[in-house]
C-alpha cells in the first residue's frame, strides 16, 4: 500500500544521497547538484505515472491525484531552483540537499490529511528555507534570513495554537473529522481562524505579507524563485485541503472572508508592485498579488474554484520562474541588483532573454495565448459560479493595475540604452526555454494540463 508514496520516498532518499554526496565530494564538485536533479527527475517521472486514490493511517496520509499534482509542481520548482543555482562555488555543496528537503516539505503538505503532518510538512518546508534565505554572505542575506525566521516562527506559532483549538473542539487531528462539529461554537471558529492566519502567512496574503519583499530581495535568486513557486504550492495545497475536507459545511462563512482577503491582496499587491524599481522586489510584490489570485479560487468554495486555484499555480509558477531566470542571468556572479533600468535595450542585446521575459510578463498580465490567461479565465469562472461577482470584479481591477506593472519592464526592454547583460549557463538556458515553451503551450493548448488538474481536484467536494 505504500507504493503511492513512491515519489516522496524517492525524493527523501534523494535528500540523503545528496547529503552523502556533498560530504564525500569536494566542495566545488557539481556531483550533489547532479544527485539532486536526477533524484528529483526520477521522483517526477514516478509521480506522473501514478493514478490512484487511497489513504493510510486513518486518513492521515492521503494518496490521490491531488497530492500527485502538488508533488509534480513542487518537483518542477525544485529542479528549476537547482538548475538556476548550478554553481557549487557560489552556493555551496549543501544547497541541493536543503532545497530538496524544502521541496519534500511542500510534498508532505500536499498529502497531509491531519494536523500533525500538516505541521511537520510546513516546518520541513520552512527550516531549510531559513538557512537558504540567509545563504548570501551579505548583510542583506542576513536580514532576509532573520526576517523570514522570525515571521516563520511567529506564523507557525499561530498555526499551532489554531491546531490545538481544533483538536480541543473535536478530539481528532484528522481533517475529515472536523466536519462533524459545527464551526459556529467559538472554539472551532477561533481554531480555524488561527489556522488560516498561519497558512495565509506562508501564502503571503495581505495583511500577512510584509516579510515577502525583503526576503525575496535578500535571498539568492534561485532560492527566491523556489519560494515564489514551491512555497506557494505547498501552502495553497494545504489550505485547500484543510478547508475542503474539514470545513466544507461552513464554506459560506470562510468563503466570504477569504474572498475579501483575496480582493485586498490582489489589488494591494499589484498597486505596490507598480512603483518598484528593483526587479526582485517587483516580482515579490507581484507574487503577493498572484497569491491573491490563487485565493480567489479557494474562496469560491466550489469544485470549479478548487480546480482553478490548483491550475493557476502552474501558469504563475512558470511565469515567475521565467522572470527570476532573467534576473539570475542579468545579475551575474556578483549578484548585482537588477533594476528596471538594467533592462534597457535588452531586446537588442540579448533577444532570446528578452523573448523569455516578454513571455513571462504577458503571462503574468494574463494576455491570451499564454498560460496566465487560461488561469484567470478559470478563476473568474469559479468566482461567478460561486456568485461572488465582487471578487470577479476585484480580480479584473487588479489585473488592470497588473498590466501597468508588467508592461513597464517590457517597455524598458525595448527602450534604447545600456543596461545589464549576462551570460547564459546551461541551467538558466534550460529553465528559460522550458518555462517559456510551457507557458506558451499551456496558453495555446491547455487541455492536457486542465484534464490532469480537473481529475485531481475532484476529491474536494465529495466530503
Partner 1 sequence: MIRAVPAGDVVALAAALFAVGAVGVLVRKNPLIMFMSAEMMWNAAALAFIGYAAEWHQMQGQLMAFLIIATAAAEVGIGLALIVWVYHKKLRLDVDDVSEMKG
Partner 2 sequence: MLAFGLVLIPWIGLGLFLLPKGWVKAGAVVLAGVEVLLFARALLAPMPSSLAVVNWNWIPSLGVHFHLSLDGLALFLVGLASVVTLAAVLASPNKQGPAYYFWILLAESTAIGVFTALDLVAFYVFWEVVLVPVFFLLGGWAAGPARRTALKWLIMNLFGSLFMLIGVVAMGVVHAQETGHLTFQLASLAHTTLVPQVAPWVFLSFLVAFIIKAPLWPLHGWMPPAYSDAPAPVTAVISGVLSKLGVFAMVRVLVPLFHAEMAQAEPWLMALAAVGLVYGAELALRQKDVKMVAAYGSLSHMAMMALGIFTLTQAGLVGATFYMVAHGVMLGGLFLLLGWYEERTGSRALTMLGGLNQSVPKLTAWFQIFALATLGLPGLAGFAGEYMIFQGLIQNNITVAAVAGVILVLAAWYMLRLFQGAMQGPRATGRSPADLTTAQVGLIGALGLLVVVLGIWPAGVTSHLPVLAPPATHALAHASHRKGGEPA
| Interface with partner 1 (CB under 8 A) | 115-116, 119-120, 123, 127, 130-131, 134, 139-140, 142-143, 145-147, 149-150, 153-154, 156-158, 160-161, 163-165, 167-168, 171-173, 213-214, 217-218, 272, 276, 281
Q: Which of partner 2, partner 1, none interacts with 399 (beta carbon under 5 to 8 A by kind)?
A: partner 2
| Interface residue with partner 2, options 3, 277, 423, 451 (CB under 8 A) | 451
Q: Which of partner 1, partner 2, none interacts with 272 (beta carbon under 5 to 8 A by kind)?
A: partner 1
Cell of residue 360, nine digits? 513571462
- Closest to partner 1 by CB, 160 vs 440, is 160
- What does 232-287 look like in DSSP terms, one character per residue? HHHHHHHHHHHHHHH-GGGHHHHHHHHHHHHHHHHHHHHHHHTT--BHHHHHHHHH
Total interface residues for partner 2 by CB under 8 A: 31
Cell of residue 323, nine digits? 522572470
- Nearest-5° Cα angle at 46, 43 to 52: 125
- Closest to partner 1 by CB, 82 vs 163, is 163
Q: Which conformational region is residue 422 in: left (phi greater than 0), alpha (psi within -120 to 50 degrees), or beta? A: beta
Task: Write the CA distances from 369 to 217, 311, 377, 387, integer angstroms.
Answer: 30, 16, 12, 27
- What does 164-206 look like in DSSP terms, one character per residue? HHHHHHHS--BHHHHTTS-S-SHHHHHHHHHHHHHHHHHHT-T
Q: Which of partner 2, partner 1, none interacts with 163 (beta carbon under 5 to 8 A by kind)?
A: partner 1
- Could you tell me the smallest distance in angstroms from the CB atom of residue 338 to partner 1? 15
d(CA 246, CA 244): 6
Structural element, H or E, at residue 62: strand 61-63
- Closest to partner 1 by CB, 46 vs 55, is 55
Q: Which of partner 2, partner 1, none interacts with 214 (beta carbon under 5 to 8 A by kind)?
A: partner 1
d(CA 155, CA 148): 10
- Closest to partner 1 by CB, 173 vs 436, is 173
d(CA 406, CA 320): 12
Task: Provide the 10 A C-beta neighbour count for residue 352.
Answer: 12
d(CA 79, CA 65): 21
What is the footprint of partner 2 within residues 405-434 (CB under 8 A)? 407, 411, 414-415
> Which of 381, 370, 359 lies closest to 445, judged by CA?
370
Q: Which of partner 1, partner 2, none interacts with 161 (beta carbon under 5 to 8 A by kind)?
A: partner 1
| Interface residue with partner 2, options 26, 171, 447, 462 (CB under 8 A) | 447
Task: Output the CA torsion sign for 311, 317, 320, 322.
Answer: negative
Query: Is 373 a binder of partner 2 (CB under 8 A)?
Result: yes
- Closest to partner 2 by CB, 16 vs 271, is 271
Q: Which of partner 2, partner 1, none interacts with 61 (beta carbon under 5 to 8 A by kind)?
A: none
Q: Which of partner 1, partner 2, none interacts with 384 (beta carbon under 5 to 8 A by kind)?
A: partner 2
Q: How far is CA 415 from the centre of its chain?
A: 32
Kindly report the backbone phi and psi dihedral angles of residue 211, in degrees, each rounded to the nearest multiple of 5, phi listed first: -75, -20
Cell of residue 263, nine digits? 480582493
Cell of residue 111, nine digits? 498529502
- Closest to partner 1 by CB, 80 vs 115, is 115
Query: Is 17 a binder of partner 2 (CB under 8 A)?
Result: no
- Closest to partner 1 by CB, 116 vs 433, is 116
Query: Is 24 a binder of partner 2 (CB under 8 A)?
Result: no
Q: Which stretch binds partner 2 (CB under 8 A): 16-24, 41-49, 396-404, 418-426?
A: 396-404
- Closest to partner 1 by CB, 199 vs 272, is 272
Q: Which of partner 1, partner 2, none interacts with 248 (beta carbon under 5 to 8 A by kind)?
A: none
Binding marks (x or -) toward partner 2, 349..368, rule CB under 8 A?
A: -------------x----xx
- Paired residues of 135 in beta bridges: none
d(CA 93, CA 33): 8
Distant-in-sequence, close-in-space partners of 53: CB < 8 Å, separation ≥ 6: 63, 64, 65, 459
Q: Which of partner 2, partner 1, none interacts with 454 (beta carbon under 5 to 8 A by kind)?
A: partner 2
- Could you tell me the smallest distance in angstroms from the CB atom of residue 128 to partner 1? 9
Note whether 413 and 351 are within 8 A (CB): no
Q: Which of partner 1, partner 2, none interacts with 45 (beta carbon under 5 to 8 A by kind)?
A: none
Query: Is 161 a binder of partner 2 (CB under 8 A)?
Result: no
Query: Is 341 a binder of partner 2 (CB under 8 A)?
Result: no
Query: Is 404 a binder of partner 2 (CB under 8 A)?
Result: yes
Q: Which of partner 2, partner 1, none interacts with 129 (beta carbon under 5 to 8 A by kind)?
A: none
Binding site for partner 2 (CB under 8 A): 362, 367-369, 373-374, 376-378, 380-381, 384-385, 389, 392-393, 396, 399-400, 403-404, 407, 411, 414-415, 445-447, 450-451, 454
Amino acid at each position: 500500500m505504500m507504493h503511492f508514496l513512491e515519489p516522496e520516498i524517492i525524493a527523501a532518499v534523494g535528500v540523503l544521497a545528496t547529503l552523502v554526496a556533498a560530504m564525500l565530494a569536494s566542495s566545488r564538485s557539481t556531483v550533489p547538484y547532479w544527485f539532486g536533479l536526477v533524484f528529483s527527475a526520477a521522483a517526477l517521472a514516478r509521480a506522473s505515472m501514478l493514478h490512484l486514490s487511497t489513504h493510510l493511517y486513518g486518513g492521515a496520509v492521503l494518496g490521490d491525484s491531488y497530492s500527485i499534482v502538488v508533488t509534480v509542481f513542487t518537483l518542477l520548482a525544485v529542479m528549476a531552483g537547482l538548475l538556476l543555482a548550478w554553481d557549487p562555488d557560489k552556493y555551496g555543496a549543501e544547497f541541493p540537499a536543503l532545497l530538496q528537503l524544502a521541496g519534500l516539505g511542500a510534498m508532505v503538505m500536499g498529502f497531509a490529511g491531519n494536523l500533525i503532518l500538516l505541521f511537520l510538512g510546513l516546518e520541513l518546508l520552512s527550516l531549510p528555507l531559513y538557512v537558504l534565505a540567509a545563504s548570501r554572505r551579505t548583510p542583506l542575506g542576513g536580514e532576509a534570513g532573520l526576517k523570514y525566521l522570525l515571521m516563520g516562527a511567529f506564523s507557525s506559532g499561530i498555526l499551532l495554537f489554531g491546531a490545538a483549538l481544533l483538536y480541543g473542539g473535536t478530539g481528532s487531528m484528522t481533517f475529515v473529522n472536523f466536519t462533524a462539529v459545527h464551526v459556529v461554537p467559538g472554539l472551532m471558529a477561533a481554531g480555524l481562524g488561527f489556522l488560516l492566519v498561519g497558512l495565509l502567512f506562508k501564502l503571503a496574503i495581505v495583511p500577512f505579507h510584509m516579510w515577502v519583499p525583503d526576503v525575496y530581495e535578500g535571498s539568492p535568486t534561485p532560492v527566491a524563485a523556489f519560494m515564489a513557486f514551491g512555497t506557494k504550492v505547498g501552502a495553497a495545497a494545504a489550505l485547500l485541503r484543510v478547508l475542503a475536507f474539514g470545513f466544507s459545511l461552513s464554506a459560506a462563512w470562510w468563503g466570504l472572508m477569504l474572498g475579501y482577503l483575496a480582493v485586498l491582496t490582489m489589488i494591494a499587491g499589484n498597486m505596490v508592485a507598480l512603483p518598484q524599481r528593483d526587479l526582485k522586489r517587483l516580482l515579490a510584490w507581484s507574487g503577493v498579488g498572484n497569491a491573491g489570485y490563487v485565493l480567489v479560487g479557494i474562496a469560491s468554495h466550489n469544485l470549479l474554484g478548487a480546480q482553478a486555484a490548483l491550475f493557476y499555480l502552474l501558469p504563475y509558477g512558470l511565469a515567475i520562474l521565467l522572470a527570476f531566470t532573467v534576473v539570475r542571468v542579468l545579475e551575474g556572479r556578483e549578484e548585482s541588483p537588477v533594476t528596471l533600468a538594467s533592462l534597457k535595450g535588452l531586446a537588442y542585446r540579448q533577444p532570446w532573454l528578452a523573448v523569455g521575459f516578454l513571455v513571462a510578463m504577458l503571462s503574468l498580465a494574463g494576455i491570451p495565448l499564454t498560460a496566465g490567461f487560461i488561469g484567470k479565465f478559470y478563476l473568474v469562472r469559479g468566482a461567478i459560479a460561486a456568485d461572488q461577482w465582487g471578487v470577479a470584479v476585484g480580480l479584473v481591477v487588479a489585473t488592470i493595475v497588473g498590466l501597468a506593472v508588467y508592461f513597464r519592464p517590457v517597455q524598458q526592454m525595448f527602450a534604447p540604452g545600456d543596461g545589464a547583460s549576462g551570460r547564459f549557463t546551461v541551467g538558466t538556458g534550460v529553465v528559460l526555454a522550458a518555462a517559456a515553451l510551457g507557458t506558451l503551450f499551456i496558453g495555446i493548448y491547455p487541455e492536457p494540463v486542465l484534464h490532469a488538474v480537473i481529475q485531481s481536484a475532484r476529491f474536494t467536494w465529495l466530503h
